[in-house]
């Protein structure tokens, strides 16, 4: 019963009279008795089997990866997501070679967009080189869609008209090399 004496002493130090301290101590004793008799409510916790945590991590990783690839599809070469876009495009072309047309059109549009925003010449040249590589592969495939090639040529000619002389020359060289292929 040391706790009772300690509680009464503390109550008296705080200004309670001897009667008030005694009544409050008795009340505390009753509360203590009631709470001791009561069973604590069962805690509801999520208990997963051992194999579930790695599965949760794998699912979270897959979702994050899909979101990353989806967000990267609109990335320009100056974006941190551009390597993700290139990797996903390369993977898609390996799985489905007809996807080359989409990648080729995307790269031609990127060249045009980079020229319009006056991007660094090295970035423009890198995307143009990638376009040329994909276009060559596309033209060598048996299911070439000439409408896709026309779209790319129109985009690149518009980019050449707005670009600096070295970029214009590179675009012209790319288009000529593809025509002779």
pLDDT for the residue 76: 83
pLDDT for the residue 102: 93
pLDDT for the residue 175: 93
DSSP assignment of 102-147, as one string? HHHHHHHHHHHHHHHTT--HHHHHHHHHHHHHHHHHHHHSSS--HH
For residues 99 and 138, give the distance between their C-alpha atoms in angstroms, rounded to a whole number.
9
Among 59, 40, 61, CA closest to 48 = 59
- Reduced to 3 states (helix: H, G, I; strand: E, B; else coil), residue 13 is helix
Domain segments of the chain as ranges: 76-180
Q: What share of the chain is helix, strand, coil (3-state, %, to 5)?
A: 75, 0, 25
What is the full per-residue pLDDT of the chain (181 aa) written as tens digits? 688 888 888 888 888 888 888 888 888 888 877 776 655 555 566 777 888 888 889 999 999 999 999 989 888 888 899 999 999 999 999 999 889 999 999 999 999 999 999 999 999 999 999 999 999 998 888 877 889 999 999 999 999 999 999 999 999 999 999 888 6
pLDDT for the residue 169: 95
Judge contact between 168 and 160, C-beta under 8 A: yes
Among 101, 105, 111, 106, CA closest to 168 = 111
pTM given for the model: 0.67
8-state DSSP, 73: T
- For residue 141, CA distances in Å to 108, 132, 164, 172 come to 19, 14, 33, 23
pLDDT for the residue 18: 86
For residues 181 and 172, give the distance between their C-alpha atoms in angstroms, rounded to a whole number.
14
């Amino acid at each position: 019963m040391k706790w009772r004496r300690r509680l009464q002493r503390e109550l008296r130090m705080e200004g309670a009279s001897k009667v008030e301290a005694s009544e409050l101590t008795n009340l505390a004793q009753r509360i203590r008795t009631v709470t001791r008799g009561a069973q604590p409510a069962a805690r509801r916790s999520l208990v997963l089997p051992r194999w579930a945590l790695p599965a949760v991590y794998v699912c979270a990783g897959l979702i994050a990866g899909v979101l990353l690839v989806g967000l990267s599809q609109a990335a320009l070469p100056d974006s941190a997501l551009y390597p993700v876009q290139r990797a996903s495009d390369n993977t898609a072309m390996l799985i489905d070679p007809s996807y080359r047309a989409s990648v080729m059109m995307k790269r031609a549009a990127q060249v045009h967009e980079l020229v319009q925003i006056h991007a660094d010449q090295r970035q423009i040249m890198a995307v143009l080189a990638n376009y040329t590589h994909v276009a060559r592969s596309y033209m060598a495939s048996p299911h070439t869609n000439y409408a896709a090639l026309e779209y790319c040529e129109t985009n690149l000619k518009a980019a050449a008209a707005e670009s600096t002389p070295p970029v214009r020359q590179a675009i012209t060289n790319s288009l000529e090399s593809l025509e002779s292929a």
